Structure 1
Amino acid sequence: MKLFVVTCLGALLLPHAAFSATEGGTVLLPEQGVKNLGIEVVTVEESDFQETAFALGRIEAIPGRTGAVSSRISGRLVELRVSPGDSVTADQVVAQVESRQAGDPPPVVSLRASQKGLVMHSDARLGDPVEPDKALLEITDLSEVHAVARVPEYQAGTLKPGAKAKIKVAALGEKEFEGELLRFGTAADPESGTIDAYFMMPNPDGVIRPGMRAEFSIVKSMREGVMSVPKEALQGNPANRHVYVKHAKIPNAFDRVNVQTGDTSDDRVEIVDGLYPGDEVVTRGSYSLGFAGGGGGVSLKEAMDAAHGHKHNEDGSEMTPEQAAAAKAAGGEAGHDHGEESSAPAWREKFFMATTALLFVLLIVSSVTRRSAAKETTDPA
């Protein structure tokens, strides 16, 4: 009895038409459902499409852009003005060396930076002896660096010097840099089957350092006027790809559209057939729409009727005058749904009242039964 009561209550409290999917592949959601799924759309348009190759790699300093600071005389280091990690300018005084020549006080010679850059290494300490054949500091110009990608051998043949790449440095998050292919390494790695590809990359802020890890999206080719969508919009298996397109007329409705795909870039997929410029394709929430199907709810016809205020065909299309006349003759009264609209609330109200009365009677019977059982248990006779 308790199970029956709970079941009846559940039927009353269950929200009506949480979501539904029509036979034609249109998913209808309530406004709150769209918010809960975080639905986002992008407008389809023709643009430049880049076919890309992905690779991992590292950052290296450019050979020939490293200089040393040394003394032309023997002496003793009496002042050191910089440390590893400091940036210096060309001809900046970085140290003072006291000469071994006689004098009171002995003469002091200033040591200057040979170039601008970052102090990478220092072997000097205050009071250390200084000799002309010993470098005190190492300075590297990092205004530009080499980004070295480990490119699979089978892709190396499709890349030529001058090819562009979008480069992300792991330490700097999603910020992108652009690099240009200079050359390939002298030999391939037989274990990984890759070869080093050297890209020149600007480092205007000096935040990129040698040894940092990098991700490469190397442009293999580029075509103009190609229609494509973000990868996250594409659903289904390779033999049956589809996307969800925002319905042009029905609010919170999304049509499932089969598409034929072409080439793939790092974040987009070419659409050969199935979409038109101006279509609004679901990106975020597209995967969840695939599960929004099953279980009753409003149909496409009902949604179109409610949106436009008159009758439609089962597939949501407009009725022809002949179809409207036939529906009217059958008692449908096309374009006037006042009777149906008023009967639905009345039916729900009667059902609610009847169910409430039934629950009340069941509760009374249950209470009387428990009291009778208790009285028989305590009766001495």
Structure 2
Amino acid sequence: MRWKRMLVMLVGAGVVFGGVYGFIQFKNMKIAEYFANMPKPVISVTTSEATSETWDTTVPAVGTLRAINGVDVTTAIAGQVQKIMFESGQEVKAGQTLVVLDSEIQQANRDAIAAEEQLAEANYKRVSSLKEGSVVSQARIDENLFAMQAAKARVASLDAEIAKKTITAPFEGRVGIRQVDLGEYLQPGSPIVNLQDLKTMRVEFSVGQRDVREVVPGRQIRVTSDAVPGTEFTGEITSLEPRADPATGLIRVEGSLPNPDGVLRPGMFVSVEVNLADKRDVVVIPESAISFNLYGDFVYVVEPKAEDAEYPTVKRVVVEAGDRRDGNVVILSGVSAGETVVTSGQLKLSPGMQIDASAGELDKPAVTDQNY
């Protein structure tokens, strides 16, 4: 009797477990069927065709800017500030008065020496008129002459000292933030304000020994700065150091470029490209098409649309990027001219996904002013 009960229990357990297993298999089959028949998403993107262009061969470098004229305006003699005749950030002309120091003592001394000069001149004229009658000796005449000349020299010295009490701009440019106050006593060499001529900038950079034959005065350079993204400044090389740096083997180069709007400032780091004489054919795509990754840069290339497909798909291709210029980048390997690459919307893509490039430019989020 006992074995019959055991048999019934085993049959019941088998039925229960079989039902559960069958339900699980049925559920997995339905889930797989759902995902297999689920419509694939279509991602809106923008695309661009890789083109073949002829680019100049360039030598890249990192440079530092300095103004064609720049100086800390200082005083040559000590004195107390009586007048400040400029505002911080002001444009000034060459010779414009910036600061006036006290000169009362020097002016009083100058008046006293001027009186002595007049007396010495009168004495010289008096003894000179007696020379014909041989009333005075030649030594007396010479003594009065030299006394007059010494007095004139002392007056000229005091005039120069008084003139130095008025500090003027040595050249036209823009002043910075003033560093003196009214009534402040200045020692010789004390900085008053920084003055820079920003109309023309000098850029200093270094090139390797192998490029020194091509990098010559008059060669065109292109300069870009993070301060003005998207703007390119064109100039030319003006001079090279006659020797290489023994520690690095690099040769310092100086270039000149106009800065009409004054957006470039001395001390800025900039990217410099020197145009060489030879040209080369390259494959170019927009720089926005490249996705940067620790394992290598890649782009999404649009594959030809299948006959029965409504939308084309994409594949991910690892590329080697080269020179960059005007928002474009040279592709050394990975993409050929004529292929179409995705230029925006890459974050939503993965290999094999369908895309719709007919919508034109994607909407960009509005940019609002923020204080950081």
Give the structure-2-normalised TM-score: 0.53
Find the counterpart in structure 1 of residue 195 from structure 2.
139
Determine the C-alpha separation between the residues in 2 that align with 1:15 and 1:233.
Answer: 31
Paired residues, what number?
266
* Alpha-carbon spacing, 1:246–1:165, altered in 2? closer, same or farther (3 Å): farther
Determine the C-alpha separation between the residues in 1 that align with 2:97 and 2:33.
Answer: 84
Amino acid at match of 1:58: T
Find the counterpart in structure 1 of residue 331 from structure 2.
269
What pairs up with 1:190-269 in 2 under 5 angstroms?
190-221=246-277, 223=279, 228-230=284-286, 244-245=301-302, 247=304, 252-254=311-313, 264-266=322-324, 267-269=329-331
Q: Deviations along 1:238-285, whole A, 9 cap, x unmatched? A: xxx998346478653258799x99x95332137999545xx5444457
Contact 1:58 1:213 (C-alpha < 8 Å) held by counterparts:
yes
1:95, distance to aligned residue in structure 2 (A): 2.2
Q: Which has the larger radius of gyration?
A: 2
Determine the C-alpha separation between the residues in 2 that align with 1:265 and 1:221.
Answer: 16
Matched, 1:92 2:96: yes
Find the counterpart in structure 1 of residue 43 from structure 2.
34
* Structure 1 residue corresponding to 2:84, chosen from 80, 98, 105: 80
Matched, 1:291 2:351: yes
Find the counterpart in structure 2 of residue 59 from structure 1.
65
* Alpha-carbon spacing, 1:57–1:133, altered in 2? closer, same or farther (3 Å): closer
Amino acid at match of 1:92: Q
Matched, 1:180 2:186: no
Contact 2:72 2:192 (C-alpha < 8 Å) held by counterparts:
no
Determine the C-alpha separation between the residues in 1 that align with 2:347 and 2:57.
Answer: 25
Task: Name the SS of the counterpart of 1:143 in structure 2.
Answer: strand
Find the counterpart in structure 2 of residue 161 from structure 1.
217
What percent identity do the matched residue pairs reach? 21
Q: Which runs of 5+ in 1 are unaligned?
A: 19-29, 236-240, 298-381
Find the counterpart in structure 1 of residue 112 from structure 2.
none
* Structure 2 residue corresponding to 1:150, chosen from 156, 181, 206: 206
* Alpha-carbon spacing, 1:5–1:203, altered in 2? closer, same or farther (3 Å): farther
Amino acid at match of 2:96: Q
Determine the C-alpha separation between the residues in 2 that align with 1:158 and 1:190.
Answer: 21
Determine the C-alpha separation between the residues in 1 that align with 2:187 and 2:287.
Answer: 62
* Alpha-carbon spacing, 1:219–1:271, altered in 2? closer, same or farther (3 Å): farther
Amino acid at match of 1:4: Q
Amino acid at match of 1:97: L
Matched, 1:127 2:183: yes
Q: Deviations along 1:209-232, whole A, 9 cap, x unmatched? A: 222222223333464886543577
Determine the C-alpha separation between the residues in 1 that align with 2:230 and 2:335.
Answer: 32
* Alpha-carbon spacing, 1:131–1:231, altered in 2? closer, same or farther (3 Å): closer
Amino acid at match of 1:61: A
1:207, distance to aligned residue in structure 2 (A): 3.1
Determine the C-alpha separation between the residues in 2 that align with 1:34 and 1:50.
Answer: 37
Q: Which runs of 5+ in 2 are unaligned?
A: 1-19, 110-161, 292-297, 355-372
What pairs up with 1:286-365 in 2 under 5 angstroms?
291-292=351-352
* Alpha-carbon spacing, 1:111–1:192, altered in 2? closer, same or farther (3 Å): closer
* Alpha-carbon spacing, 1:114–1:230, altered in 2? closer, same or farther (3 Å): same
* Alpha-carbon spacing, 1:59–1:253, altered in 2? closer, same or farther (3 Å): same
Moved more, 178-187 or 44-53: 44-53
Task: Name the SS of the counterpart of 2:43 in structure 1.
Answer: helix
Q: Deviations along 1:95-154, whole A, 9 cap, x unmatched? A: 233421359xxx998654232213358675433457999885552212111122232333
* Alpha-carbon spacing, 1:170–1:193, altered in 2? closer, same or farther (3 Å): farther
Contact 2:222 2:274 (C-alpha < 8 Å) held by counterparts:
yes
1:55, distance to aligned residue in structure 2 (A): 1.7
Structure of greater relative contact order (alpha carbons < 8 Å, 6+ residues apart): 2
Q: Deviations along 1:276-311, whole A, 9 cap, x unmatched? A: 5xx544445789978338xxx9xxxxxxxxxxxxxx
1:78, distance to aligned residue in structure 2 (A): 0.7
Q: Deviations along 1:24-52, whole A, 9 cap, x unmatched? A: xxxxxx5x4433xxx43223445442322
Determine the C-alpha separation between the residues in 2 that align with 1:190 and 1:284.
Answer: 47
1:91, distance to aligned residue in structure 2 (A): 4.1
Contact 1:50 1:223 (C-alpha < 8 Å) held by counterparts:
yes
Contact 1:181 1:197 (C-alpha < 8 Å) held by counterparts:
yes
